[in-house]
Amino acid sequence: MTTTRFAPSPTGRLHVGNIRTALHNWMLTRKAGGDFILRIDDTDAARSKEEYVEAIRTDLAWLGLEADREERQSERLGKYETAFEALREAGRIYPAYETQQELELKRKVLLGRGLPPIYDRGALELTEAARAAKEAEGIAPHWRFKLDHDEPIVWEDGVRGAVKFDAKLVSDPVIRRADGSWLYMLPSTVDDIDMGVTQVLRGEDHVSNTAVQIQMFTAMDAAVPAFAHEALLVGKEGKLSKRLGSLGCDSFRERGIEPEAIIAVLARLGTSLPVEPIGDRAALLETFDLSTFGRAPAKFDDADLERINTALVHAMPYHAVKERLPDGMDEAGWHAVQPNILTVGEAAEWWRLVTGPIEKVQFSEEDRAYLGEAASALQWTDDPWATLTSSLKESTGRKGKTLFLPLRLALTGMNHGPDMGELLPLIGEGEARARLERAAAA
């Protein structure tokens, strides 16, 4: 059974990059059948906040990406301790005592010699007496995972294809700080093992992490999941954009962006498939395939999102939006205003043309006389707009703009808007005649 996980840290709100990762993991699971796990990576107690946990849940629910189960790292600290002790006993974890300044100096020396700036394993050369002396001085160790340098690290990546790392060119990673708190590597690996994660799909910035974690899986005699690393999002200019980090569900909601528009864009962004206004998730799932993902940076453009959003809004049936429409707007009202709106929220502005009040317009004497004639000629047939304009065209000789525009201005206060054939019946006979009469007298 396919099991994936989305593992945000509750140190802030989800942004568009996080959402894309969550979506693709959700799609991977839903297409194959299995479990989509929301794993809250909250081992950083100082920065993790419960309000962000709630926000993550809320945002995923709004997007329709509910998890099959939720796990929290803060409730699994004992598991990490057990794994840590087993690995230390096996000689795969060792204490190190260098300060940040000392490590930085080592890096500069190596770079100056044209060598890879990797950790030199100096801590392994310390004797027991030297370690005891360090700790007697009050220097608590941080802890590193000892990589196996004898075998290259290889895997078949679901997006990048064959990947190979020379373990000797990778630093032994710090997995635990001197204060006892955990870094990302070991807890994530322990969780993937315990939770039965079969596929890890994440950003390409994790490729080097994967190389390390593959050795951790092996060291713990566990099956290695299938890994795939998708290209990161960039702005339309082709550069990493700070703005992408601030684009989240609150921002999208405020702008009237529909969840289905976000899903339609992010589902295919970075793939060879066209980004289209597809509101049917089943259709998106049917075409979801890691083989379509490219290596080039995935360009996110707000204009594309708004274009997709507008197209989806224009296709939305009344039953899908009726709870979000202004009081009194029925299916006929929605159908009338729908072609003129970019977001569902804009329906209220156009509905004001029906309920009033409308803007007062100043007309010429000739147009006032024409509108007075229109008020008298108004007949409430099955199509009152067509009946009225046909009658006025015959009686006045007006046509085109001079025929239609004064009527629209008098009836709506605007020189553009929804089709008058649909709008006039919504205004109603009495109100329509009153508006024409007021305009004629103005």
Cα-Cα end-to-end distance for the chain: 74
Sign (positive/negative) of CA torsion 365, 369, 375, 378? negative
- Strand-pairing partners, residue 40, are 72
Task: Give the DSSP H or E segment for 202.
Answer: strand 199-203
- What 8-state DSSP symbol labels residue 326? P
Q: Where are the alpha helices (DSSP H) in 71-171?
A: 77-89, 100-112, 128-136
Query: What is the CA 26 to chain-centroid distance, rounded?
Result: 12
The torsion angles phi and psi of 359, rounded to 5 degrees, stand at -65, 140
Residue 242 annotated as binding?
yes
**Cβ proximity of 343 and 256 under 8 Å:** yes
| DSSP line for 375-411 | HHH----SSHHHHHHHHHHHHH---THHHHHHHHHHH
Three-state SS for 21-45 is HHHHHHHHHHHHCEEEEEEECCCCC
- Strand-pairing partners, residue 22, are none
CA distances from 126 to 85, 131, 171, 426 (A): 20, 6, 18, 86
CA distances from 203 to 17, 278, 298, 407, 422 (A): 9, 24, 11, 57, 49
C-alpha closest to that of 110 among 172, 169, 176: 169
CB atoms within 10 A of CB 174: 16
Q: What is the largest CA-CA distance in the chain?
A: 110
Annotated binding site: 242
Annotated binding site for ATP: 242
